Structure 1
Amino acid sequence: MRPTHESSPKISDHAPHPGDLTLFQVMRRPRWIGVLVVALAIAAAFAYLGKWQLTRAVEARQVGPQVTETTHQLHDVLHPGKAIANDRVGQLVTVRVTTVPADYTLIQDRDNNSGRRGWWVVGHAVVADGPDAGAHLAVARGFTASRAVALAVQQRLAAASPEQLELAGRIQPTDPPQQPEDSLDGDPPTMKDMAVAILINHWSGLGDSPKFFEAYLVASDHVPDGLVPIYAPPPIQQKSIDWLNAFYAAEWAVFAGFAVYLWYRLAKDAWEREVDDQLALREGSDEASDQPTARQKVD
């Protein structure tokens, strides 16, 4: 009797080659799509935390004036004899004053955001009421690009009676003191810097122990005829970065990227294991088919 050959299991010739299985096919499986959704949710949470940390990195190191446009009484913002705090520079204030006509001064070479430089007319005012009544305050009343107009306004105000005014405006820090220049034509001396320490040397009626503000008011109302309001915008908010918080923000961004990368790496590992298993099965089947059966050996 002719010996027969036992058939051994082998992968069908029509079965897909293990190399035909792509990484993209594995990633599209429901299991890995679910893992991707979880990874994206984690990455989104990390991205939100990074954004929050970056905001903190900027807000934690704000520098310069933090100005509110809410108007306050002057005595709530500044006290006589004390320098103005950085967070009060440019603050809108109101104050009731009495002007001193004889003490008007011109500040020259001032920029009023008009492309032309000109003159400020600056007055001496005495606080009329409140806890700082009697304190002396420098008030920038208005601007003109014409020297002749500035002199005319100064002379007119000096000849007028004291005014009782409710002034509104922005409080600004004094400039460093510099000696004013004497006029060659007999006009009153003019200054280039708004220095309160120099102004008070020319003021009258200060008394023995005067109280004065180490800042000045840029008035926005009660502008004398012939002048225009002085340009006084809100101070620019300046910020610096807290680099430690910025580093933490970068870390959160790395974590967000790593969450997605981890999904990719796990899916790729699963794909590589599946391909290796199929290749091992195929190689084992091929080796079994090449070995003779026990009946063939006996024959």
Structure 2
Amino acid sequence: MKIPVLLRPVALGAHVAGIVLSSAAVGLGLWQLNTWEDRRDDASTERIERSAEPLVDVIGPDQPFQKDQVARSVTAQGEWLTDRTVYVPDRDRDGVEGHWVITMFAVDGSESAIPVVRGWIEEIDPRPVAPTGQASLAGWLQPPEGKAGMPDDDPTDDVIPQVRMADLVQHVDRDLYGGYLLLDHDIQDVDASTSNGGVESLESVDLTQVPEVSATTGWRNFLYAMEWWIFAGFALFIWLRWCRDEVLRVREEEAAQYAPAEPTAEPVEAVDERREDTHAATDA
């Protein structure tokens, strides 16, 4: 019994690959679209007043920052990376230009760290003392900055132009979360179980002093959904194109196999000899 070309083992493997890739891409696109819709629905929710949630439950180390995570109140347990402190200049506080002090914090339960804005200081010389050891922190999540035209002219020093992951990652030897934590200086008066150390000699930075979040933050998920669906369409196109080419190839092979044989052309030498014999007979 002859097996149809699209049911052969090789073709079945191609069908499985095409279905799996296309379905996965469509599913991921729907997931991103639902995330985008959730961001729009939650846009009017006052996230600051929510009760604090563990950082590991709000965002994962490898996840992009979502709009509904802006200003979320979170807690985190881990260890200060004392020698991983950087400073961001040109930060206004009550009309005075100063620096944000940021120290990396290794989060328990992951191999990643999150940048923590410990506070504001007018002058960074001498450098303020950085915290050490284990700590339990509380504060507000913020997305990274990314203003154009602000390159880090000297990546080897501890001053960076903005809170951008591309700049921060050069100052730490591990992965970073997709956002940063704005430390709440008043948390010790609210929750005795959480101690935000490392704020001595630093002024607090509140949410009113944080640059506005880009309006496109929530649209990233929508664009991700479009990208996944484009990939799904491409995988589907390749799969169908391969099926068509296989069918045409087999048809051509079968047509060539069963086509009637063409008459064999007579050798030129035989034709010439026959002509010579004909002329000789005519002359005789």
TM-score by length of 1: 0.47
Larger RCO of the pair (alpha carbons < 8 Å, separation 6+): 1
TM-score by length of 2: 0.50
